[in-house]
Each structure stands twice: as structure tokens, then as C-alpha cells.
Structure 1
Amino acid sequence: MAEVVSRVFSRIAGTGSALPAQVVTNDDLAKRVDTSDEWIASRTGIRQRHVAGEGETTVTLGEEAARKAMAAAGVTPGEIDLIVFGTTTPDLIFPSSACLMQARLGIAGCPAFDVNAACSGFIYALAVADKFVRSGEHRCVLVVGSETLTRMVDWNDRGTCVLFGDGAGAVVLKPDSETGILSTHLHADGSKKELLWNPVGVSVGFKPEEPNAGVKVVMAGNEVFKHAVKALDGLVDETLEANGLDRHDIDWLIPHQANLRIIEATAKRLDMPMERVIVTVDKHGNTSSGSVPLALDFAVQSGKVQRGQLLLLEAFGGGFTWGSVLLRY
């Protein structure tokens, strides 16, 4: 008789999130640049965003979200055996934000590393962590998406400064024999980098006498919108086909919160009413890697998402990068 091989899933055991104390509304921004609440909201769906203040960093926000996720999962720092941290705004070039947060959590010895895929960072980090759990090598994995993107926006550029906010979300993954993450799908196209990028790095454009010169988000908004909608359309089809599912099988869409029009376009592709789409862009703005886990935790804490439901997480970001995670919560 052939041996029956049991499948291992990575299941989300707990979620958590963190937001800076300071809230900046569209009316607040209208005092700094030529814009208005109506102009911003009608084009993006954003009404306000949280902005990191003194002492609030990518790592401290990630730590707060991580502690909440661990509490929800009922695990201690000592049980964490892997940390994967999605961010494009690390506290330092090195050590990684994962290592810095690991120390703050009082964890020592387990592997910890960052993943930079811009706004797709959490999706990429979750996909990587899923593989480690499935391998059987790790049994309690902390996955974080955290950003302080407002520290690299040009506050004089009304086309970008109105879009971004700061925040963090986290999940704890544990192995499960019955259900959890069903599939992950990741893509990238570096040839489109100049449509959404930061043109300064350590070995390109860096001036020691002006270490922060040119560190800002540069974006061709209309082009990014078109590429995002097309890429996410294909991603939806790919994810459903890989799992033999119909679009109506999805209980909740939890998308990257960049622009309400992009979210609505993806929902339309799924023939999904907006009542089954988690939307936080109005309250948080675009928090890059923090976006999807923040929305996921909001959905869990509000009681909208229930155990056993089928969730589609997806994101699109600079690189270009894009990806999805289909999971049974």
C-alpha cells in the first residue's frame, strides 16, 4: 500500500497592527500644498493618514504590531523561530529591521531578515515564510510589514505627499495539517522601475556630504495605475486557476490600500461587491508593506473575517512587484 503523505499548511494563528499617534487629514495637507480634501478623496479615496513622530520608527511600529500578533496567537517571544520583515524604509541600512526588532523582542538565535519588495513587501514576506513552515523547518514564524514612508516623501509634491502614511501589521504563522495558506503567486518587472521609485541608494546617486539628498518617492501616477490594474487582473485569474476555484468562492478580498479606484477595479474583476472588500485606505493612506497586514488585522478585529473563510490578499508596488496569497483563515 502506498504511503499517505500528509500536507502541511501554514496557518495564521494571530494578527496585530500599529499606527503612529499623529493623524494628518486632507485639510491639514491643504494648508501646506495646493490641494483639497475633495481633490484627494475623489482621486484616491484617502481622507487621512498616520504620520510617525519622534521616537516612532519602522522597527518600533513593527515591534508593537508583532507583540499584538503574538498575544493573539498565544505565543511567547521565546517560541518564535523565524522572523521575516517586509519593509522598504528600514531604520538602518544594516543591521536589518528584522534583527533590530528581534533584539527589542528579547529573541536570540533564530534567523531574522528583511524583504524589500516595496508595497508588495508583506505579500513577498508571507510567501517566503510560508515555504519555511511547509518545509517543516520552522513552526512559529513572525511575519511583519512595517513602513515610515512619510519620511521619504516630498512634502512639496502634491501628487505624492497626499498618498502615503505610516503603519505596521504582523501575523504569526504556525503549521496546520488541515488548512491555511493554499497558494502564493509572486511576480516582478524591473524594466518599469522609473515609473515608481526612489532614485537614490548607497551605490547610486549617494552624496556623503548630502546623505538625504534626493531620497523621495518619484511616481508617474497614471502609468502606475494602468500597470497595476492590468497586473492585478492577471493575478486574480492565476490564483483562482491554480486552486480550481471560481471567483465567487472568495469570501473576502484584502487588497493593498493604495488607491480606491484600483481596489474597485480588482473587486469588479472578481464580481465581488464592495461589502466583501476590506477598505482602510480612507483612514491609513498607502502604508506600503504595512498596508495588507493592517487591513487584515482590521478585518479580524472588527469581526468581519471569521475562521474558515477564504481570503485573497494581493498587492502591487514599485519594482514593479506584485503578488497574491490565497488562504483559508
Structure 2
Amino acid sequence: MFWFKPKHSEGRAIACQRINCIFLTKGVRISSDAILLALSHNIPMVFTDQMGRSQGYLWSGQYGSISTVRKKQARFADHPLGMDWVRDQLLQRAKNQLTTLELLQEQPYARKDKQGQSDFVKDQKSLSKLIQRWEKLPISPRANLKELAASFRGWEGGASRTYFQAFARVLPEKWGFAGRMRRPAYDPFNALLNYLYGMLYPLVELSLIKAGLDPYMGVLHTDRYNRPTLVFDCIEIYRHWAEWTALQLVFEKGLDPQQHFEERSIREGIRLAPSGKKKVIAAMLGHLEERTIYQGQKRKRKTQIDLGLQSLASYLKTLDF
């Protein structure tokens, strides 16, 4: 068992079997015994910075499968089958976005004036048309993969602009959200999304490792950045969990842009204050613990990540390169 002691509350023991991952933020102290216990039970430890971004890992150093999977992964990354898989990933991402908008439309807080509601419905229709167009796109074995990748990035960008435009229509003005921006964030809602995505990235990366896949060998995202580019490809179909959690925090769980965020320098933008991080972490972990139907069975969302990436590894094993 591990013994955890928060600064201002009583400590408690938690069995290894109940822990999937340990996140270590600034100021945490940990013993070598606890590290060895985590390694022996294949529990990874993730070091994060103040923005919630992963900076490094402690794990056993063993992939969850033999090297044959990674050899096939290398061929898959530069093959039309890889682009076909990317298209499926982006299609699923867009379908998840559309489902989120449909759920959002049902919420009492999303009901605005007739013009705002009409524009919101237009956003949904635009996203539906994009999905229908790309469902019909054939990928030829002789396709130019670079041109195809550029086309996919453009489609992904268009779908995301439409999606977050709909968010901007329902969010209160005090959140200052006009659309999605990357780091640094200059409004609280973008800062919230960045933090929630930051919680997802290491979970996807560690699931890839457990499945025997190389996180640094992407398909749509190239490997020239020396970054875990396969994580960038795989995380797309899970982002809506972070986005729905963000909406719940804004409308139902009392997250406040004045109380729970702090302005930093121009370089750092706006970020969550410590009081905000506690609420956000609890909400996201709770969302990941919830069970939903996955392949005919009720599974925790965090388990669905493992199963989904294990399926990718199994698929690669079947390919005859």
C-alpha cells in the first residue's frame, strides 16, 4: 500500500491495485521505497509542471509487447493504411464533437435568444456536413501521403473552429472565450482546456507504452519534433471528455474565472490557481472513473483508453507488411 499525506489534511493508505498512475506536482516529496513499490506494480509516475504539462515519467522501462509490434508500427506510419486509420480517428473526433454539441443544446444554460440558438444549430449542421463529406473520401493505395496529411490537418482545423465557435455562443461573457487558442492561454476557459488536456496526454502515452507501441512514432503528426507524436494522433478521440468536464465545471461545479485563475506574465498568460486545480483535478478524475458502454460492456473511461490502444496494437500485428 501507498501512504499519501496532503499538506493540510490527514494521510491515508491506498492499495496498489486501486492505482493506475501517480501524478507528482511541484513540491511533492516521495520516498525511494514508494518509487520501487510503484515500479514493481507497473504503476507509472508522471512529473508535471505548474501548468499541468507532463515533464517526465518514472516507469519500468518495459514495453507491453514484443518489438514486432513497433516494427510494423514504423511501416504503418508511412503507409496508406496509416492514413486510413487517421481518417477514422478524425471522423470519430468530429462525431464526438457533434454529440457534445447535441448534449450541450439540451442543457438549460445553453438556451439563449432565438438568434443565438439558430446560430448554434447552424454550427451543428456545418459539422454534420464535414463528417458526411469525409466519410465518403476514398484513400487510394497510390495517394500522396504528404498532400493527404495536409488535407486532413485543414479539415481537422475547420471542424474544431466550428465546434469551439458553438462553445463561445453559450459560455458566459466573463469567461472571455472567443475561440480555441493554444498555449499560452489568455482567457480562463482556454487555460482550463489546456490543463484538462494536459491530464489526458500522459494517460494516453502510458497506455501506448502498455500496449507495446512507440509514442514517438506518429502517423499524421510527424516525428521531426522529437515529441510523442503518436499521442497527438491518438488523443483526438478522447478530447471530448476534457471538454465536457470543462463545461460542467463552468456551469454546474462553481469554477469561477476571478477566484480560481491567476494572470501571469505575457509569456505565461492565464493559468489555474491552486484552488482551481483542486476542483479541476477532482472533476476530471471523477469523469474518467465513470462507466459508459464500450464495445457492449460498461467500462470506466480511463479503461477505455487502455482497451482502445490495445486494439490498435492488435490490429498492427495482423498487418502483412
Q: TM-score, structure 1 length as denominator? A: 0.26
Structure with the bigger RCO (C-alpha within 8 Å, sep 6+) is: 1
Structure 1 or 2: more strand by fraction: 1
Larger Rg: 2
**Which has a greater percent of helix?**
2
TM-score after normalising by structure 2: 0.27
